[in-house]
Amino acid sequence: MKRAYIETYGCQMNISDSELMHGILAEQGFSTTDKPEDADVILVNTCAIRDHAEQRVIGRVGQLQQIRRDNPDVVIGVTGCMAQRMGESLLGRAGGVDMVMGPDAYRQLSDKLAEVVARRGPAGRLPMSQSAPAIAARGLAVLGFDPHENYEGVAAKRISAVSAWVPIQRGCNYRCTYCIVPYVRGDEKNRDPQAILDEVRALAADGVPEVTLLGQTVNSYEHGGWNFPRLLREVAHVDGIRRVRFTSPHPNDFTRELVEAMAEEPRVCKQLHLPVQSGHNRTLKRMLRRYTVEEYLEKIEWVRAAMPGISLSTDVIVGFPGETDEEYEATLQLMRTVRYDDAFLYKYSLRDGTPATRLPADQFVPDEIGSARLQRLIETHRAIQAEIYQSEVGRTEEVLVEKEGKRGGLQGRTGGNKVVTFEGPVGLIGHFVDVELTGTSGSTFVGEMAGALAAA
């Protein structure tokens, strides 16, 4: 039996895509290994959001070349968003890549791997004496977009038996000026709602108690007469599912109807990740985000009025071209106003192929200023987060136990998506337990079991 190793970088959609690729390969007789040196096929599934992520991948592919010394037959491929963005140029990078494949081509994965081996000649082996250009010459690039590819009928091989990603949408119709996603994943494609519900029912039948609905702008979902609030309610009614989450919504498509569905459905987690990106209207306009700060804050008010204890998180970019000190200070003030439980904070990274590259060069924020702004934003957020977490010490929360902790004990998440570690038997993994929160690091909790075991 051949063995496949997939290393994943980037967002939840990439994690889900790696599960999809494992499923495709499993149908062709591949087993999964967590050691690249044991693999016949090594795939690096990539992100293209920031230059730093791409440089990490280039370095990692270079490291993986060492495996060719002991196993000249190994196939090394790069898949995902970075593969789509860089295309054939990746074949000759980092010592040589055998295959480059974009996100819409995974259904062809097994066939294309066979083609890669066939291109090597009768022996199917790439001699170690060959250079990166020679490897690239025999390499294969499988790129382009398929406007209908939603991978219906392809069974993913899940990495967790406790919580499952369920993609309901691929691609994006928004064109935020900083974002590469529409150019590497194509336009929005929404799955058939009955196929989604069938997938969720199958997961419930397998004993998976939690699902997360995935999409680039998940709440823009529409298919026939279905919109996202209707789909969310139907998923929450599937027997056996105890928790439903979704990510990532776009503020433009965030409606009162969705707030009502979240508030009224007890199985929908009272947790919301709503990216804001900036706290100033002028920056938002240049980003082409299509909402104002005032509209965003109004939607936060809707949410907190309907679900007072909801856990909120967001994404923020600082140092976007043209961002003034005043605009940056407005972002800090928004963070203080909303008081997010968690936040993913970034310094703007120029991405070739995005509209922002056409902004005047004199608008680009110097790197040292962008770094200083990011550091201050992180400090502001962490102080707020620590206050929120400290205020929750002493509560008892229902925790879904996900795995063993890195330092022993068990690790799970609350309904608000907050990590808790506590002592308990391994047999509790996959179950819900009541845990008293006894301490916090400022971004995670430690706790003690407080109640009887609740069946998953």
Integer distance in angstroms from the first to the last C-alpha of the chain?
A: 34
Question: Which CATH superfamily is 163-391 part of?
Answer: tm_1862 like domain (3.80.30.20)
DSSP for 222-254, please give it: EETTEEHHHHHHHHHTSTT--EEEEE---GGG-
Which residue numbers belong to the known binding site?
A: 11, 47, 81, 172, 176, 179
Which residue numbers belong to the known binding site for [4Fe-4S] cluster?
A: 11, 47, 81, 172, 176, 179
Domain 393-449 of CATH type 2.40.50.140: yes
Average pLDDT, the chain: 94
Q: What pLDDT band is residue 96 in, cutting at 50, 70 and 90?
A: confident
pLDDT of 414 > 60? The answer is: yes
Going by C-alpha positions, the residue among 86, 62, 55, 59 that lies closest to residue 76 is: 62
> Domains of the chain: which residue ranges?
3-142, 163-391, 393-449
Instruction: Please give the torsion angle defined by the CA atoms of residues 143, 146, 147 and 148, in that order, rounded to the nearest 10 degrees.
Output: -150
Mean pLDDT of 159-182: 96
Mean pLDDT of 31-45: 96
pLDDT of 125 > 80? The answer is: no
* pLDDT over 90, % of the chain: 86
Mean pLDDT of 204-219: 98
pTM score, whole prediction: 0.93
pLDDT of 128 > 70? The answer is: no
pLDDT of 237 > 90? The answer is: yes
Q: What pLDDT band is residue 92 in, cutting at 50, 70 and 90?
A: confident
Cα distances (angstroms) measured from residue 357 to each of 178, 335, 348, 362, 448:
8, 27, 12, 12, 51
Q: What tokens were used for 447?
A: 């706790």
Class of domain 3-142: alpha beta
pLDDT of 455 > 50? The answer is: no
